[in-house]
């Protein structure tokens, strides 16, 4: 079952390696700022939210934010996991170029072949396809040169002295991951999670390099599942610098709390039954 699926995805990956660049989502639940990782959302887990990007342009008084030039990152999105191996994403992106406004559809599919264990040398490996354009794989989108971006991503968690745990990510991809005129490119990233007491949640810092440049971001995840993220793209090119902000919610924390409560109830019930048996047991 897995072998035919693997071969099919490899064929899809190879068949679209010759096309030009495209854009993608930012701050997805299983990704870093702008690159995918080898992880996928678990079955029944979803994330929904919005992200906004804006640039600064040079004016008479120096750098100033241009509200009507939001680039290509005003969006709403939904990502969800199936069978602990598949992640699907859907979204709608609105592009503002000066006074013009256009809309694009976003879709993504990621399949995980290897899943990293808590202890072991095996990394997480996933392949996927991302699409952003006027129609989901329609003839009109192909006519306009808007085609999917394929990728292969590998992720591994490392534990080093003083630094403790951090995650490393590397991958290859087409379209938006490509370098210049090359049909294919490499992307790399680092992520580090912190759990400071004052934050009452998790803070993740990330640094990455994709086909466009160097990106950095910070994501704050509360115990309720609310996620607030801030980031910047193409730090290596001030003229193309773009700022990112995202607000989303995931049910992952809620489901973990429900599972923990269920385990506590089961344990309390078991202890109550054992205590009742000990009381009612006839003395020898």
pLDDT tens per residue across span 178-210? 887 888 999 999 999 988 877 788 999 999 998
User: How many distinct helices (H) and strands (E) make up the chain?
Assistant: 3, 13
DSSP 282: P
Q: Among the listed ranges 21-30, 36-45, 208-217, 221-230, which one has the minimum average pLDDT value?
A: 21-30
Number of domains in the chain: 1
Q: Is residue 165 part of a domain?
A: yes
pLDDT tens per residue across span 245-260? 999 999 998 888 888 9
Q: Is residue 209 part of a domain?
A: yes
CATH for 185: 2.40.160.40
Three-state DSSP at 210 gives coil
Ramachandran category for residue 121: left, alpha or beta (phi over 0 → left; psi -120 to 50 → alpha): alpha
Q: Is residue 262 part of a domain?
A: no
- Identify the domain containing residue 191 by its residue range: 2-250
pLDDT tens per residue across span 110-153? 999 999 987 678 999 999 999 877 655 444 444 455 678 999 99
What pTM was estimated for this model as a whole?
Answer: 0.78
Three-state DSSP at 196 gives coil
Three-state DSSP at 96 gives strand
Q: Is 35 in contact with 210 (CB distance < 8 Å)?
A: yes
């Amino acid at each position: 079952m897995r072998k035919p699926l693997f071969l099919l995805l490899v064929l899809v990956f190879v068949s679209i390696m010759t096309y030009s660049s495209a854009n993608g989502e930012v701050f997805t639940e299983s990704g870093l700022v702008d690159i995918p990782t080898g992880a996928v959302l678990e079955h029944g887990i979803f994330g929904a939210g919005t992200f906004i990007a804006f640039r600064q342009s040079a004016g008479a008084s120096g750098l100033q934010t241009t509200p009507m030039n939001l680039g290509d990152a005003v969006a709403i999105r939904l990502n969800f996991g199936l069978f602990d191996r598949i992640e699907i994403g859907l979204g709608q992106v609105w592009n503002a170029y000066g006074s013009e406004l256009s809309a694009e559809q976003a879709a993504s599919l990621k399949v995980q072949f290897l899943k990293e264990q808590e202890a072991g040398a095996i990394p997480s490996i996933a392949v996927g396809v991302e699409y952003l354009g006027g129609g989901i794989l329609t003839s009109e989108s192909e006519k306009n040169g808007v085609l999917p971006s394929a990728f292969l991503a590998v992720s591994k968690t490392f534990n080093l002295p003083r630094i403790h745990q951090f995650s490393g990510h590397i991958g290859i991809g087409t379209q938006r991951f490509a370098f210049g005129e090359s049909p294919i490119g490499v992307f790399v990233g680092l992520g580090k999670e912190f759990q400071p007491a004052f934050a009452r949640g998790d803070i993740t810092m990330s640094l990455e390099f994709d086909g466009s440049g160097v990106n950095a971001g910070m994501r704050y995840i509360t115990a309720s599942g609310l996620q607030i993220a801030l980031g910047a793209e193409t730090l290596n090119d001030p003229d193309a610098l773009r700022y990112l902000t995202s607000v989303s919610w995931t049910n992952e924390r809620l489901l973990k709390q429900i599972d923990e409560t269920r385990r506590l109830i089961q344990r309390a019930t078991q202890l109550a039954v054992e205590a009742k048996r000990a009381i009612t047991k006839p003395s020898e």
